[in-house]
Each structure stands twice: as C-alpha cells, then as structure tokens.
Amino acid sequence: MKNICVIGGSGFVGTRLISLLKDDKTVLNLDKAPSALHGVLTQTGDVREPESYTSQLAGQDVVILLAAEHRDDVSPTSLYYDVNVEGMRNVLNAMDVQGVKNIVFTSSVAIYGMNQPTPPTETSPEAPFNHYGKSKWQAEQVLQKWIAKGEERNALVIRPTVIFGEENRGNVFNLLKQIYTGKFLMIGNGRNRKSMAYVGNIVAFMKYKLEAEFSGMEIFNYVDKPDFDMNTLVSEIYRHKGLSAPKLRIPYPIGILGGYCFDLLAKVTGKKLPISSIRVKKFCSSTEINADKLEVSGFVRPMDFKEGLQQTLTSEFAD
C-alpha cells in the first residue's frame, strides 16, 4: 500500500500521521481545512460533498478516514450524523467508483459508553451515551455492510480512547493547561480509571498495520497501558511541574450541578464554554478499555504511556 489518501488529515492526528508516512509512501491529504504543515500534499475536500474528492481517489491503494465531528458541543447535533455517518457512506461510494478496496477508519471507544462493569473488548456490545458515540457506531455499521459485499474489500477499524500529545488542543490539553495555570480543581474522588493513547504511538500502529496489511474487517481498541486513575494522572502532571497535587476537591454532585449551570449559560449566551455537564461526566467517568488484542498483534510501541505524557508536558509547558 504505497499510495495513501488521508481524508481529514489537517488536524492533530492526521498531521502526525502524514509526517510519519510521507518519506516512504505517496500521501495525499483531502481536507476542508488547509494543513499548517503539509500544505503541498493537501487538496480541498469535504466528506459531505463527494464531488469534491471522488476523482482524487483514482489510483489510491488505501483511504484513511479521519474526518469527523467530535467536539462535545457541536451544534446542530445533526452534524455528527451528516459528517460521521453520511460522510462514511459518501467515501465508500467514491471508493467504489475508483475501485479502491482498502480503508482505515478511526472510530472511537465512545461506542461502548461510560462506566462499564468490565473493560470492553472489541466484541463488547455497543452502548454509546452521546451523539458522537452513536454516530461513530452507525458509521461502523455502514462500513460492515460495505465489507459484506465482498469483492476483496478490506477495512481496519481502530477504536482509540482519548488521544493526547504535542500540539493537541483537546480535553487532555485543557486539563494540562488548567494545572499549569493554577486553575484546576479536582471533581469527584479521583478513583475513576482512564485509558489514554499517545498520538505518536497510535499513528505508528496505523503504519504498522498498513505494512503488515489487513484482511476483511479487523477491529482494534487502541490504548496505551497502564491505565491511571485520575488521582495518579493529576499527581504525575503536578510532579512534572515540581509540585504536589492539591487535596481540595469538589464533590461530584456539586460539580455536575455546576456543569448544568454552564450548559444553561452557554444556551442563553450562544457561546461555547470550557465547562459543561458532559465534560464533568466524562472527567469523572471510568473509561478503562481492554487492549488484549492489540498486545498480541506484534506491534511494539515507540514509547510507553508515561514517556508520552512526560514528552507532551515538556513540549507544551517547558519554561
């Protein structure tokens, strides 16, 4: 698989992936947004508008579909389904037009829901709690129907947990920034465990599977072990800063009430705020994911979880 089309590669994960692939593979990035780092490899394309990219898929060996609506506060919520579900259907139709048989799709562990009694495996039932998780599961179902048509179609589905790393500006970065600017308050008892993934490792896994190849529909949870509970994670971040984690914490009922108040304020003002009820729920939930299948795949991570965390902290917050 030497000719690779990345759809939605101008963002955090895509930029890192293209940087890893471009030296020994021919890479095209299709995105509705320009790429800050890989502009020469980028053309404009929107998954909702197949006419904007169908012709560019000619001659490609594989499509890597990263494009998604994933923020917690997307409005209207129909955008999750327009981009994540219909976008998948549009991309597969365009691939059929051009005879492309292979796709890599980044789904999400959000399809399993929160606070599962045991860490979900790839065969666990779906129980998404929000529109993002629901739309990712529906996109997987569209992909399953495409694979079922046969004709040598192949799909690699990667279900990552929350991804962090240098240059990320998502929820993990917000947590790191709050701690480093002295604006962090722990909500809940902190005993909830979090599975996480370092960006350098997950793109390395994608490259590994592209080179090892995949057949039919292969599904992998992606997690970098060990899973820290929030107390340990926060303590590690404070330790990097040279401080001890504060003992003050807000009980969960008060925290979630505050989240609902911010929801109301956001609705009244029309502004997107950094705190919401869903973010409080996600912060205090357990999202421990089983990665046994990944561990026996033959893939060797470039670095372990703690190394990835320390490298991210040093890169983002070095004095």
Q: Which residue ranges form the domains of the chain, and what is each CATH number? A: 3-168+195-225+288-303 (3.40.50.720)
Distance, CA of 170 to chain centre: 10
Q: Which residues face 224 on adjacent strands?
A: 196
Active site residue 132: yes
Residue 181 has pLDDT above 90, yes or no: no
What is the pLDDT confidence band of residue 214, given thresholds at 50, 70 and 90? very high
Whole-model pTM?
Answer: 0.92
| 143 within 8 A of 63, measured Cβ to Cβ | no
Set 80, 112, 132, 198: catalytic member: 132
Mean pLDDT of 145-169: 95
pLDDT of residue 319: 63
pLDDT of residue 175: 86
Phi, psi for residue 85 in degrees, rounded to 5 = -95, -60
β-strands 193-198, 186-187 pairing: unpaired
What is the pLDDT confidence band of residue 286, given thresholds at 50, 70 and 90? confident
Q: How many residues does the chain have?
A: 319
The pLDDT tens digits for 31-78 are 999 999 999 999 999 999 999 999 999 999 999 999 999 887 788 999
The pLDDT tens digits for 68-127 are 998 877 889 999 999 999 999 999 999 999 999 999 999 999 999 988 889 999 999 999
